[in-house]
Amino acid sequence: MMRSQDAVDGALDLILAGWRVRLVCAPQALAQAARARYAAFVAAIGGPADLVIAAAAEPGMSPGAHAAHMLEAPLRPDAAGYRLDADGIAASIQPDLGRATLALATAEPLGSLEYFLRIACALLAFHRGGVLLHAAGLLAGGQAYLFTGVSGSGKSTVTALSPHALALSDDLVLLRPGEAGWLAHGTPFWNPDAASRAGQTANGPIAGIYKLVKAPAVRVEPLSAAAAAAELAANCPVVNGRPELLPELLARCRDLARAVPVRRLHFRKDASFWAAVNANLIIQEVHSDAT
Amino acid sequence: MQLNAIPAHAPGVVSRTMDGEAVLVHPAQGKVRVLNAVGARIWELADGRHDIAALAQAVADEYGVPLARTEADVDAFCYDLVGRGVMVWAPA
C-alpha cells in the first residue's frame, strides 16, 4: 500500500480538453517521466478528477511486449467497464466511475502509459459527450480545421504546408461540445516525428472537417449526411470497436455532422487547398444566410 | 442467381439510416460503409425471413423498375455484402 506522501508525489493532473485526468504513478521514475512528457498539460493537483489512472510499472522486461501490443489488444467489457490484457500489460477502465488501473511489466512503461492514456481519453471523451478524433487539427484565424484520412493520406502534409496555422495535433484531437458549438482541442498525442507541438494546448471552434483525398485538382466536395457521419465514426478509435457503444457513436457523429461542415477535400501537395477550403466556407455562410 | 437465398444482417453489425442512406459499422472488421438509398432499403428488408426474390419484388414495386433487372441487381448486391461479411445467409 502506498503512503499518502507517495501518492501525492507520484500524482500529476493533466488538463485535456478541459477534463482533469489524474495520473497516480509508481515508481517515482514513471511519475517523473510522465510529468516531463506531458509538462504542457500539467495542472496543480486539486479538485475532483474526471478520470483517475493508477499506473504501476513493475521492474523487469517482458520479451516482445511493447506499446504497439496494447493497440492490438482488444478491450473486453466486464461488469464494471472494460479490461485490456496483453503481454506485460493488465489494465481496467471504468469510464462511468472515472477510474482506471494500469499494471505494466514492459521495457517501455512510458510508451505503454501513453497508449493507454489514448484509450482512456477516447472512452472518457465519449462518456462525457465528446469524441477523440483521428485527425490533424489546425487553428487558423481563431477557428479549427480538422483533416481526416488513412495513414499516408496527407494529414502530416497539410500540417507541414500550413505555417500560418497552429497545429493542435497531427494525429488525435479531442472534440467537446459546448454552449457555442463544438470545440476542437489539442492533445499530447502526436506522431513521433512531429517538428513542433506549439498548439497542443490550444483549442478553437470547428470551422470544418475535411476528409483528405490526394488529387491533381483541388476542390471541396460535399458529403451526404450518412457519408459524413460514416467518416467521423470511422475515425473515432477505440469507441468504434465497441458494439455496445456504436448506436450512440453513430447518433453523435450524425449530430456533429449537422453542426459542423464535413467535406471531402481533394488536394495537391501544396498549400492551394486553403483557398478552396475558405471559398467553400464562404459559400456555406451565404447559403446559411439565405435560408 | 439463387433467388431463394435469404439474406440477413451479420451478427455484430450496427446500422443507422440517415436521410435515406444507411451507415453500417462492423466493429470486428473495423469497417464503416455507406449504402445509398436503394441499398439502404434492401438492407432494411433483409430481415432473415424474406428471400432475394421477395426483396427484389418489393424494390421493383417501390421504384417502378423491371423485375428481372431488379432480381439480378439485388442478388448481386446481397452476394457482395455477404462476401464483405456484413450480411449472412439465413437458413431456409
As a three-state string, the secondary structure of A57-89 is ECCCCCCCCCHHHHHHCCCEECCCCEEEEECCE
- What distance in Å separates residue B45's CA from the closest CA in chain A? 19
List the single best residue of A236, A246, A255, A262 to mutate versus B (max B Cβ within 10 A): A246
Residue A141 sits in which domain range?
131-290
Q: Where are the alpha helices (DSSP H) in A53-179?
A: 67-72, 109-127, 155-160
Cα(B55)–Cα(A66) distance, rounded to whole angstroms? 50
> N- to C-terminal Cα distance for chain A?
64
pTM above 0.95, yes or no: no
- Structural domain ending residue among the three candidates A127, A148, A164: A127
- What distance in Å separates residue B69's CA from the closest CA in chain A? 27
Are A240 and B16 a contacting pair at CB < 8 A? no
The answer to whether residues A16 and A88 belong to one domain is yes
The answer to whether residues A52 and A181 belong to one domain is no
Cα(B42)–Cα(A84) distance, rounded to whole angstroms? 38
> What are the cell numbers at A160?
507541414
- Strand pairing of A19-26 and A11-16? antiparallel
**How confident is residue A192, by pLDDT bands cut at 50, 70 and 90?**
confident
> Are A226 and B22 contacting, i.e. CB atoms less than 8 angstroms apart?
yes
Please report, for the domain that includes residue A220, its CATH number: 3.40.50
Cα(A21)–Cα(A53) distance, rounded to whole angstroms? 7
The answer to whether residues A156 and A268 belong to one domain is yes
Cα(A132)–Cα(B27) distance, rounded to whole angstroms? 17
Residue of B nearest to A231 (CA): B32
Q: What is the pLDDT along chain B (92 residues), one digit of tens a residue?
A: 789 999 999 999 999 999 999 999 999 888 999 999 999 999 999 999 999 999 999 999 999 999 999 999 999 999 999 999 999 999 88
Per-residue burial over B60-88, b if 16 or more Cβ lie within 10 Å, else e, is beeeeeeeeebbebbbebbbebbeeebbb
Q: Which residues of B have a CB under 8 Å from any CB of A?
A: 12, 14, 16-19, 21-23, 25, 27, 30-34
> Are A43 and A57 contacting, i.e. CB atoms less than 8 angstroms apart?
no
Contacts of A58 (CB under 8 A, 6+ apart): A103, A104, A105
A145 forms beta bridges with: A138, A208
pLDDT tens readout for residues A72-129:
567 899 988 999 988 788 999 999 999 999 999 888 889 889 999 999 999 999 999 9
Residue of A nearest to B35 (CA): A226
ipTM (interface predicted TM): 0.91
The answer to whether residues A118 and A199 belong to one domain is no
Q: Which residues of A touch B43 (CB under 8 A)?
A: none
The answer to whether residues A77 and A193 belong to one domain is no
- Structural domain ending residue among the three candidates A99, A127, A155: A127
